Structure 1
Amino acid sequence: MTNNNDLLNIIKNFQQQHILVVGDMVADIYLQGIIERISREAPVLVLQQSGEKTVAGGAANVVNNVATIGGKVTAVGLLGNDNAANGLKNILSKNKVDINGLITSNDRTTITKTRIIAGGRATVSQQVVRIDHDNRTPVNSSDEKKLLTSLEILLPQCSAVVLSDYGSGTITPAIRSLIIDYSRQTGIPCIVDSRYSIHDFKGVTYVKQNDAELAAAVGMTIKNDTDLHQAGKLLLNQMSAKGILVTCGEKGMVLFENDGSINTIPVSDKSEVYDVSGAGDTCVAAFITAIAAGAESTAAARLSNYAAGIAVRKMGTATVSKQELISILEK
């Protein structure tokens, strides 16, 4: 069994890995306001804006996490010609992310999720509403061609690929086929995290789902471990994958492998769970970077479990640093 010293040695190899992250890049915007009064126009709070922060979300959060844990990473996706895109590029560039694969579309806007946070000197700040600005129209042929051209150049340079599908349509059928076919032909590992359309990605090396997504994917109600194991094995067979990593909240993770083995990995620390936002992205980033660095899938899952455990102890969509991972393993 892999021990923590083995995991530390795997982390040392992260800097040599080039991970390609393809998918729906999201700008998470947090608008903070101090509660002043109740509006005369309607029974709603009136806030005096006190701050604004943009962080990387969706596929961009996977990108950011690969960068902060020490890997080399290139982001591939579509952005609009807008302030949200500029903010996202600045965030990623600060972490030395290669953003040359981010295409500016004249037909789409940057995907944003804007959270309004209300608070005051004597009150706890809370999210009161979230406003999503998504793209519902299919990717046009010109933008798709630019993405395909970029991928044909970038794929031979990478150690592994992440397909991060949040349902906004960036990963078109042609893009999906190109990446999965390349992965199978070359042996380069590829992992998919898809919220709504996991079966479209049949043939990938690894699949990441949470337990609710798994239940929906196989049309089952998961009430216990027996149900979970049945569902995991069923999806593994349907996807023709090497492994499926299922996150189960406070119960940890379960890794299903095509040799029939099932490995349950309990959470590393239940004492301080503040926010699960983006923890799945952290999990994917750590898992695939470890696989690229030569880790066995069980060791990669353990490492991703530690990384996710750090992420949930932070507020909002958060990243995990290489040093944080090293510190928790050394303990």
Structure 2
Amino acid sequence: MLYNSLLKIINKLQKYKIMVIGDMVADVYLEGKISRISREAPVLILEHAAENVVPGGASNVVHNAATLSGHVYAIGVVGNDFAGQELSRILHNKTVDTAGLIEDHRRPTITKTRVMAGGQATVRQQVVRIDKENKRPLDVEIEQRVNDYIQEHIRDMHGVVLSDYGSNTVTPNIIRSVIDACQKNHIPCIVDSRYNVMSYHGVTVVKQNESEAAAAVGYEIVDQASLIRAGNEILEKLDAEAVLITLGPDGMGLFEKTGKFTQIAVTNKSEVYDVTGAGDTVVATMILALAAGASYEEAARLSNFAAGIVVKKPGTATTTQDELRRGIGEHFA
């Protein structure tokens, strides 16, 4: 029975080492109370109320895996700045191994700052977002340090995530060395790449959302027929074992090398609050489940429950083992 098998998988998640490699992002939330309209321009004046840093990008995958009790190794590049220091501190406090966060004083930590406005009689909402990142290729020395750390530890891993948000941390050399090492050591490896997924030939599992998958194959996904065509095309071209395409309110589509296609419905269509970072939750849950011995379908279904929990929460969020157990229990009750 699926209910019992998912609970058994959850009980084993904390036993496994997971390496997450990718673009480490600091999501900064500047909170302000609406004071008045400026006399200088037709804009709001906000009184600063708070400033919070939340792990985003690949560091959100790290945060999710750690919250689910995985033993996580975070590998990426941060700057010599407050955002990088705060990101490292937050992850370290979650018992994440952060020795693989290589500091590069020549580039800033990737930062996405959201200015949030609200008041007693108004709904809290985002006013503007300010992004800070350097998209130039990694310096050869930094790339080598990242790769050396990966190769030193990867053989001890039970699962690997490549989280590529397009900020050049996951270089072609790193992609190839990671996938080759995973194949050699029989380690499941999942990729979530926003713009460059077709470069990950030989990866075990591919995770894409609908628009990313459509961009990868070069045509729109408009119905189940085009979805199945796209999923199988990515599966074949990358020689992967499985492809998982998330479909928003339509759930997920799982394609396996065996030829099996599974449509997975969402668990809480009527309770969506914020989908930010839900894809990272899917990736973290799926790799932990695969490390614990789950089938591709079991891992995908568990990740679907995890995503259903985090979309009920504002902003970039995580879920816990207890929340997963409750969510699954309520679903099958």
Q: TM-score, normalised by structure 1?
A: 0.98
Whole-angstrom CA distance in 1 between matches of 2:288 and 2:187: 12
SS at match of 1:168: coil
SS at match of 1:271: helix
SS at match of 2:8: helix
Written as runs of structure 1 = structure 2, the 5 A alignment for 1:9-158 is 9-158=8-157
Q: CA deviation at 1:269?
A: 1.2
Aligned partner of 2:294 in structure 1 is 295
Q: CA deviation at 1:187?
A: 1.2
Whole-angstrom CA distance in 2 between matches of 1:184 and 1:149: 18
Cα pair 2:16 2:288 within 8 Å, conserved = yes
RMSD: 0.8
Cα pair 2:78 2:108 within 8 Å, conserved = yes
Q: CA deviation at 1:271?
A: 2.0
Q: Which runs of 5+ in 2 are unaligned?
A: none
Amino acid aligned to 1:78: V
Aligned partner of 1:313 in structure 2 is 312
How many residue pairs were aligned? Answer: 330
SS at match of 2:215: helix
Deviations 1:252-306 (A, max 9, x none): 0110011111001100111210000000000000001000100000000000000
Amino acid aligned to 2:113: T
Deviations 1:85-122 (A, max 9, x none): 11111211121111011111122110000000011111
Aligned partner of 1:286 in structure 2 is 285
Amino acid aligned to 2:28: I
Amino acid aligned to 2:201: K
Amino acid aligned to 1:197: N
Whole-angstrom CA distance in 2 between matches of 1:77 and 1:223: 36
Whole-angstrom CA distance in 1 between matches of 2:268 and 2:301: 13
Whole-angstrom CA distance in 1 between matches of 2:201 and 2:30: 39
Cα pair 2:281 2:303 within 8 Å, conserved = yes
Whole-angstrom CA distance in 2 between matches of 1:136 and 1:152: 24
Amino acid aligned to 1:53: N
Q: CA deviation at 1:222?
A: 1.3
Q: CA deviation at 1:238?
A: 1.0
Amino acid aligned to 1:86: Q
Q: CA deviation at 1:161?
A: 0.3
Q: CA deviation at 1:330?
A: 2.6
Amino acid aligned to 2:313: K
Aligned partner of 1:197 in structure 2 is 196
Q: CA deviation at 1:70?
A: 1.6
Aligned partner of 2:161 in structure 1 is 162
Aligned partner of 1:275 in structure 2 is 274
SS at match of 1:13: helix
Amino acid aligned to 1:104: E
Amino acid aligned to 2:278: A
Cα pair 2:155 2:185 within 8 Å, conserved = no
Q: CA deviation at 1:58?
A: 0.2
Whole-angstrom CA distance in 2 between matches of 1:135 and 1:197: 18
Whole-angstrom CA distance in 2 between matches of 1:136 and 1:9: 42
Aligned partner of 2:187 in structure 1 is 188
Whole-angstrom CA distance in 1 between matches of 2:220 and 2:19: 34
The 10-residue stretch of structure 1 (290-299 or 87-96) with the greater mean CA deviation from structure 2? 87-96
The answer as to 2:216 corresponding to 1:217 is yes
Whole-angstrom CA distance in 1 between matches of 2:252 and 2:220: 18
The 10-residue stretch of structure 1 (157-166 or 32-41) with the greater mean CA deviation from structure 2? 32-41
The answer as to 2:170 corresponding to 1:174 is no
Deviations 1:29-67 (A, max 9, x none): 000111111112211111111111110000000000001
Deviations 1:197-220 (A, max 9, x none): 011111100000001111110011
Percent identity of paired positions between Structure 1 and Structure 2:
51
Amino acid aligned to 1:189: P
Written as runs of structure 1 = structure 2, the 5 A alignment for 1:254-269 is 254-269=253-268
SS at match of 1:295: coil
Deviations 1:166-216 (A, max 9, x none): 000001111111100011112100000000001111110000000111111
Q: Which runs of 5+ in 1 are unaligned?
A: none
Amino acid aligned to 1:3: L
Whole-angstrom CA distance in 1 between matches of 2:126 and 2:117: 6
Q: CA deviation at 1:223?
A: 1.1
Whole-angstrom CA distance in 1 between matches of 2:182 and 2:81: 33
Whole-angstrom CA distance in 1 between matches of 2:322 and 2:98: 24
